[in-house]
Chain A
Amino acid sequence: GENVEQHPSTLSVQEGDSAVIKCTYSDSASNYFPWYKQELGKRPQLIIDIRSNVGEKKDQRIAVTLNKTAKHFSLHITETQPEDSAVYFCAASSTGTASKLTFGTGTRLQVTL
Chain B
Amino acid sequence: SQTIHQWPATLVQPVGSPLSLECTVEGTSNPNLYWYRQAAGRGLQLLFYSVGIGQISSEVPQNLSASRPQDRQFILSSKKLLLSDSGFYLCAWTRRDRGEKLFFGSGTQLSVL
Q: Which residues of A contact B (CB under 8 A)?
A: 32, 34, 41-46, 49, 89, 93, 95-106
Instruction: Categorize the interface residue count of chain B.
Output: 20 to 34
- Closest CB in chain A relative to B78 CB, distance in Å: 22
Residues of A within 8 A of B44 (CB): 44, 89, 103
**Given contacts A43-B106, A44-B90, A44-B104, A99 and B99 within 8 Å (CB-CB):** yes
Within residues 82 to 113 of chain B, which ones have a CB less than 8 A from any CB in chain A?
90, 94, 96, 99-107, 109
Residues of B within 8 A of A101 (CB): 46, 102
Look across to chain A and name the residue whose beta carbon is closest to the beta carbon of B36. Answer: A103
Interface of B is mostly: strand
B90 and A99 contacting across the interface, CB-CB below 8 Å: no
Residues of A within 8 A of B109 (CB): 41
- Closest CB in chain A relative to B40 CB, distance in Å: 11
A95 and B99 contacting across the interface, CB-CB below 8 Å: yes
- Closest CB in chain A relative to B76 CB, distance in Å: 16
Give Cα A97 to B43, complex, Å: 24
- Closest CB in chain B relative to A15 CB, distance in Å: 24
- Closest CB in chain A relative to B48 CB, distance in Å: 11
- Closest CB in chain B relative to A24 CB, distance in Å: 15
